[in-house]
Amino acid sequence: MMIIRLIILVALVGLLIFAYRKLTGSGQSENKQANNPAAMKKCDQCGIHLPQEEGCKHKDHFFCSNEHMQAYLDQHPDERD
């Protein structure tokens, strides 16, 4: 009798793992999310981190706002175009 319970238990655990993986998605979709995170960039003027699409870029530099880009360029005239 014990061996039958053990087999049922193993089958149930296997079924739970299968259902869990199906619900949470395969490893492929997890990798897809990891490859496409919200790209956080650091403002070269104040050091704050924010998503890339919310700031502005100048050459290799990134800034949280136009004001900080302007302030940075005022301090680093050689970085201007």
In sequence order, what are the residues at sequence separation of 6 or more whose Cβ sits closer than 8 angstroms to the Cβ of residue 41? Answer: 49, 50, 51, 52, 55, 62
Question: Which CB atom, from 4 or from 39, has the smaller least distance to Zn ion?
Answer: 39
Residue 40 found at the interface with Zn ion (CB under 5 A): no
Measured between alpha carbons, how far is 39 from 18 in angstroms, rounded to an integer?
33
In the complex, the smallest distance separating the C-beta of residue 38 from Zn ion, rounded to whole angstroms, is 18
Place of tokens 């193993």: 10
Does position 9 bind Zn ion by CB under 5 A?
no
Taking CB under 5 A as the rule, does residue 64 contact Zn ion? yes
**Site residues (CB under 5 A) for Zn ion?**
43, 45-46, 64, 68
